[in-house]
Amino acid sequence: MLSPENVIANLRASSKKQALHELARRAAEQTGLHERAIFDVLLERERLGTTGVGNGIAIPHGKLADLKRLYGLFARLDQPIDFDSIDEQPVDLIFLLLAPESAGADHLKALARVSRLLRDRATCEKLRGADQPAALYALLTEPTAHAA
């Protein structure tokens, strides 16, 4: 779901919309899908309710018909931004999750796994302290992180 090239250590964005746009651009490079299609799906999901889940974390997600598999992209922002989060705190850790429209339960399982991982305060502190993509990737994929 997540590969080393899909980890961004210092994403620059000054707004939620700009962050989503930049994530959509990077996701388009990796998936071969059109950037606008990804961005539109993410914006549509945000209209339903914020994906800013609290504690500085956002998990924007959506389903796309042309996607072949689950796809994840993680970004640590260089500066926290307002994300309309449920706790009204700014966001600095974003995990983008894209799934094929046919994913069904796999999409929900992946969302639950990401949510569980990012609910762990120690993991989030380590993510905030790491400034290299390889270190972030290692933290996000270490087996102990998924045992929770």
Q: Alpha-carbon distance 52 to 69, whole Å?
A: 24
First to last CA, the chain: 18
- Enumerate the active-site residues: 61
- Listed residue (3, 10, 4, 2) closest to 127, CA to CA: 10
Neighbour count for residue 4 (Cβ, 10 Å): 12
Angle of the 105-119 helix axis to the 121-129 helix axis, nearest 10:
80
